[in-house]
Amino acid sequence: MLEGPLPRRWAHSQGVAEQARSLRPMLGDDADLVESSAWLHDIGYSPDLAATGFHPLDGARYLRAVQGADEPLVSLVAYHSCAVVEAEERGLLAELKNEFAAPSDDLLDALTYSDMTTGPDGTHLPVERRLSEILDRYAPEDLVHRSISRSSPSLTASVRSVEQRLAAVR
């Protein structure tokens, strides 16, 4: 659903899944769930699914209603990478919270780490470069720019938490 219309987004998703796979040593029984959510985290960008224009919500709704995905997977997609901040900017926070339960912090951090250390072309990079790259793509008045600016400390903290957990198991 991304490969044809959005090849760069598809490359990003593949890189995010690769990063998630690298977390297997610390994820144990949750490794498959996090990797699956990494493959699917941006499915809401598909032109066929974009209903609200907020890709975490559009993707999670599609996965639940059409694919019958399990709630833990749907919740990770719905909340990935500080989605609550952008949902608030878009006036969709109540919808998000009413429709989807928040996933566990550890699993959400793992998905956020995978997303925030993967560039738009699927290459791996430090979280600071990823955040800078996102901010550069959007004008300061754009709600995505505002959302990333607001959530940068939390996104960075999630990445650092995963890096520490990963180092502890190595």
Residue 14 within any structural domain of the chain:
yes
The distance from CA 5 to its chain's CA centroid, rounded to whole angstroms, is 19
Distance CA 16, CA 47 (A): 20
Total domains present in the chain: 1
pLDDT digits (tens, 9 = 90+) for 104-157: 999 999 999 999 999 999 999 999 999 999 999 999 999 999 999 999 999 999
The H-or-E segment that residue 160 falls in is helix 143-169
Residue 129 within any structural domain of the chain:
yes
pLDDT for 97: 98
Distance CA 77, CA 84 (A): 12
pLDDT for 170: 80
Distance CA 143, CA 9 (A): 19
Q: Among residues of the chain, what percentage have pLDDT more than 70?
A: 100
Distance CA 8, CA 104 (A): 29
Residue 86 within any structural domain of the chain:
yes
Q: Contact at 8 Å (CB) between 80 and 54?
A: no
58: containing domain: 7-169
Tokens of 56: 């975490």
pLDDT digits (tens, 9 = 90+) for 32-71: 999 999 999 999 999 999 899 999 999 999 999 999 999 9
Residue recorded with tokens 């919270």: 97
pLDDT over threshold 90, residue 22: yes
Residue 39 within any structural domain of the chain:
yes
